Structure 1
Amino acid sequence: MKITWNRVKLALLTLLVVIVAVAFLYDPLDYDRDPNRRLPADFQTYYQQQLEAGQQAGVRPGNEVRLVRFADRTEYTILFIHGFGASRAGGEAVVDVIANELQANTYYMRLPGHGTNTADHAAHDFREYLDATEDAFAMLPRLGDKIILIGSSTGALLTTYLASKYPDRVYAMIMASPLYEFANPSTAMFDVPGGIYVVEALYGPDRSAAWDDPRKQPGYEDHWQIDQKYRAVKNLADLRRYIVSDTTYGRITAPTLLFYYYKNEQEQDNVVSVPAMLEALSQFGKFSHPHPLNRAVAVAEGYHILMSKYVASDKQFILSEIRTFLDAVRQSEPAQ
């Protein structure tokens, strides 16, 4: 959107008002999970509740939660968490293959406000993302014994949160393009108290997440929220700011495989920061000891979204790396 001089003046006036009001209005980020929050005793009941909640919210076909079940309980169980504005379609092309090979019960969760509409997408703050993620993780032992977390972008940020908070309960973590820092430095405005008001004064309340690239495949728009509100991005920025810290990284002990799109300095992830990903991984486990199987793998043929059939990437390479990683994790287990 073109920025006019009138918008600039309005933004400056808004900033002045915000500076005066911040001392009275600033609410530091905090999150306390309700200790009395109740979940069903069995996973099937929980799953049906999530499906019904999606139907009531008007979730589009193909964006619902999904359960892939091979048995009542399996040795391995997978939780996939999708990215911001995305859906389970952001990972199924890869995760389905791994789930089948492991015969692992797998749950594709849906973040609040996703797969529905623009207003709903902006109506849920970072605490609701955390509640939904905690719920899914708490239910996962009903599906299997060894929990494998797989996340894409924002979903990988959330798996990072889980692996840090519950280090003894995560068997392995696989991430694609984790959001530890935005590639665009201007998004730092969302971290400034009242910054959202300046953004809206400059650009208006709405943004488009549309992109035109030959790597995008037909059907993409059916599984991503294209029309968005800047308020939704503010919620995402709050989530990132709440989770990202040296303390979060230092507590992670699970073996971790991190994929990132990088071909050269010109052709690399332009949504999230590659250096921030690599720096974060180097901090994993520093409070005890980094897992020796931790590894970052560059994917030369890809995009920010690496595991979706709706975005071209070298999925055979990704699958091969995951198989090698999981084989190594299994071999590193103590003999029974």
Structure 2
Amino acid sequence: MLRRILAAIALAVAALALLFFVGPVYRIAPPAEPPALPAEAADGTVLERWIAAREAAHPDIVPGAEKTIVWAHADRRRTPLSIIYLHGYSATRQEIAPFCDLLAARLGANLFYTRLSGHGRAPAAMGEVTGDDWLQDASEALAIGRRIGERVLVVGTSTGGTLALWLAQQPEASSIAAQLLVSPNLGPKDPNADLLAGPWGAQLQQWLIGEEHRWQPANPEQAKFWTWRYPARALVPMMALVKEVRASPLEQIRVPTLVVYSPLDQVVSPQRIEDAYARLTMPARRLHRAAPGEDRSQHVLAGDILAPSGTAPLLAEMLAFIEALPETPASAATRAQAPLGTQGVSVAR
């Protein structure tokens, strides 16, 4: 009798385990077609107006968060190098500003700031988008970068770094001169977040988190330019994107890559960053451990809002990295400038 009871229990446990592992999983689908940009204009005016018109479809965008181009020249000409910035999850282009502006000025480059779908708007908008939308946003950003520059420098922070790693594996990656990943999100600090990317992830999100996720901004500027409360279901596509990129063949990326992170990061896992970096095999790569900064989470490592003292060191590190690359528009531009000092510890592997 006892043997039958134990067998029945074992069968029930096996059935429940099978039910769990065959449960629904949130999937990411790459864009089927390249972004359709407007016809080229010699001075970029058509492209600029097209971007503005598309952003105008969302009247709740926070001023200062919208997609925009910062031109190196008044006539909006194409430059040998352009920069695109991919901001992090729940953030906007103000995240590490003015870092990209300073980098663009040093390199004489046009600069495009994207705005990931759902971001920089009313909180409910975060719950309306998918991971597919963010891949489309990244593809569009690269296409715009290619339109405004002959070669593209990609800068991504946190989940923007995740998207940069995805872009570096696409056919268009041949146009990317280099990429800077600041605290790239290869997995949140909390390992339980991985559950959201597995079977029954959406259901577990409801059970573990509830309807809304919120956190406390560090200051009024972060409260303005970050979405600090939003539908918790928006966490599921973010984790699906992280899982997708983490499982991708990072070893095949050929884009020169600088990774800057803090071992004290309280938002994403430093170990996941180190593990992903160890898989990179391109000749031009560098892992830089940033010196402790002002950001209490040790995650946003530059920018006037959270880490103003980190901007100059990050700029110096990036300029030194691209200057050491074989002759490119970026390296040529940096060699024409006076060198800057650096802080922190660089580890070339």
Q: Please give the TM-score of this superposition, normalised by the length of structure 1.
A: 0.83
Q: Is the 8 A contact 1:80 1:91 kept in 2?
A: no
Which runs of 5 or more structure 2 residues have no equivalent in the other structure? 1-14, 333-349
Partner SS, residue 39 of structure 1 = coil
**d(CA) in 1 for partners of 2:20 and 2:194?**
20
Equivalence for 2:289: 298
Give distance in 2, aligned partners of 1:327 and 1:107.
22
- The count of corresponding residues between Structure 1 and Structure 2 is 304
- 8 A Cα contact 1:149 1:174, kept in partner: yes
Whether 2:149 is the aligned partner of 1:168: answer: no
1:287-330 C-alpha deviation (Å, 9 max, x unpaired) = xxx22x31111112232011321102422211111121121125
Q: CA deviation at 1:22?
A: 7.7
1:138 aligns with 2:133: no
- Residue 47 of structure 1 and its aligned partner are, at CA, apart by 3.5
CA offsets 1:233-268 (integer angstroms, 9 cap, x no match): 111011112222251x11211211111023xxxxx0
Match of 1:54 in 2: 55
Aligned pairs for 1:1-336 (under 5 A) are: 23=22, 26=24, 29-35=27-33, 38-42=36-40, 44-57=45-58, 58-71=60-73, 72-165=77-170, 166-211=172-217, 216-247=218-249, 249-262=250-263, 268-285=264-281, 290-291=282-283, 293-302=284-293, 303-312=298-307, 313-331=309-327
- CA 1:242–1:301: 2 relative to 1, 3 Å: same
Q: Distance in 2 between matches of 1:256 and 1:202?
A: 36
Rate the CA distance shift 1:21–1:260 in 2: closer, same or farther, 3 A.
closer
- CA-based RMSD: 2.5
Q: Which amino acid aligns with 2:305?
A: Y
CA distance in 2, matches of 1:311, 1:228: 21
Q: What amino acid is the match of 1:33? A: P
Higher relative contact order (CA 8 A, sep 6+): 1
Distance 2:161 2:151 in 1: 18
CA pair 223-19 structure 1, distance change in 2 beyond 3 A: farther
C-alpha distance in 2, partners of 1:282/1:327? 23
> Structure 1 stretches of 5 or more lacking a match?
1-15, 263-267
| SS at 1:250 equivalent | helix
1:63 positional shift: 0.7
**Cα gap change, 1:63 to 1:36, in 2 (>3 Å):** closer
Q: Equivalents in 2 of 1:280, 1:199: separation in Å?
A: 26
SS in 2 for 1:171: strand
Cα distance change on mapping 1:49 and 1:193 into 2, 3 Å: farther
Q: Which has the larger radius of gyration?
A: 2
**3-state SS of 1:314 partner:** helix
The answer to whether the 8 A contact 1:31-1:127 is kept is: yes
Q: Give the Cα separation in 2 of the matches to 1:254 and 1:37.
A: 21
Pick closer, same or farther for the CA change 1:110–1:19 going to 2, 3 Å: farther
Distance 1:179 1:17, change over 3 A: same
Q: What letter is aligned with 2:31? A: R
Distance 1:199 1:316, change over 3 A: same
Provide the rounded CA distance (Å) in 2 between the counterparts of 1:182 and 1:202. Answer: 16
d(CA) in 2 for partners of 1:322, 1:201: 42
Please, which moves more after superposition, 33-42 or 222-231? 33-42
Distance 1:36 1:322 in 2: 29
Q: Are the structure 2 counterparts of residues 78 and 18 from structure 1 closer, same or farther at C-alpha, using a change threshold of 3 Å?
A: farther
Say whether the 8 Å CA contact 2:196–2:204 is kept in structure 1.
no
Measured in 2, the distance between the counterparts of 1:33 and 1:203 equals 30
Q: What is aligned with 1:7?
A: none
SS at match of 1:34: coil
Q: Which moved further from structure 2: 157-166 or 30-39?
A: 30-39
